[in-house]
Chains A and B, each alone.
Chain A
Amino acid sequence: MILVLGGFGVLLSSTRPMGQPSPVRDNLDVSTGNAVRTAQGNNRLTPTATELVQHVGIPPIDAATPTKTELATFALG
């Protein structure tokens, strides 16, 4: 048995989140192109979402992750 819960897959195509850049993405190391979190004091400004898309290839939909979200939890036997 696998945890697929496929019925909710349909929801994944119903909306397109909009909003602010994700704080997680802002910590990626653009200078190296690696998905490595940078320290605060690394002598460079935190990259913008646009920079990340160009240099690291973060999917634009992820770079536009909204900051205000809510949770819903379901079990489907």
Chain B
Amino acid sequence: MVRTRVGYTGGTTENPTYRNLGDHSEAVQIEYDPTQISFQELLDVFWDSHTPTTQPFSRQYMNVLFYHDEEQKRLAVKSLEREAAKGDDPVYTKILPATTFYPAEDYHQKYWLRHNPVFMGEFRAIYPQDEEIIASTAAARVNGYLNGYGTPEALRAEIDSLGLSPESSKKLLEIVSN
């Protein structure tokens, strides 16, 4: 995974904001290295991360897979068909073409990192601008670990690549191990 960012997409409202979302849905956009992880693997995580038979509360909180090309569309449709075949309940998850992605406000990005002053302080020292933190692979990974994802083994394997101080590296390992 190279970068992640959250934002709004799928609608027609120009320049949406959290307070004026219009007809968009909240979404995450992932920039990935296809030599390291496949779109199919991302699809598997997507389906495991929600209940497709739950009717969406609103357009803002729909479950949608936005495809960027015909190959993604083909794989997405195939995966939806597999999900639909699992039971009799209707699948409400949509598959739609990707349209303009509007990044959410900075305070939504790297949420868990942003709310940890120690780790955020270290990234701020390296990257004074929000856009740089949003673009940072290290920030994305630390954000994921702080949100409870990843294993201690995985973190140990890459801890030295994340740019943290020795103290924060130790602290993050403690957090993930607990």
Contacts and interface: CB of A to CB of B under 8 A. Distances in A.
Given A15-B37, A66-B33, A72 B68 contact: yes
Contacts of A65: 2, 137
A10 B29 CA distance: 14
A59 to B, nearest CB: 3
B163 A13 contact: no
Chain A at the B interface: SS class: loop
A13 B141 contact: yes
A47 interface: no
B28 A74 contact: yes
Interface of B: 1-4, 6-7, 9-10, 18, 25-37, 39, 41-42, 45-46, 48-50, 54, 56-57, 60-66, 68, 72, 98, 101, 104, 108, 111-112, 125-129, 132, 135-138, 140-141, 143-145, 147-151, 154-155, 157-158, 160-164
A59 B126 CA distance: 9
13 contacts: A5-B28, A7-B50, A8-B30, A12-B141, A13-B155, A17-B36, A24-B135, A35-B129, A56-B126, A59-B126, A68-B34, A76-B63, A77-B61
A2 to B, nearest CB: 6
B27 A12 contact: no
A75 B66 contact: yes
B149 to A, nearest CB: 4
Interface string A14-37: 111111000010000000000100
B72 A72 contact: yes
A24 B2 CA distance: 14
Given A57-B126, A72-B32, A72-B39, A12 B63 contact: no
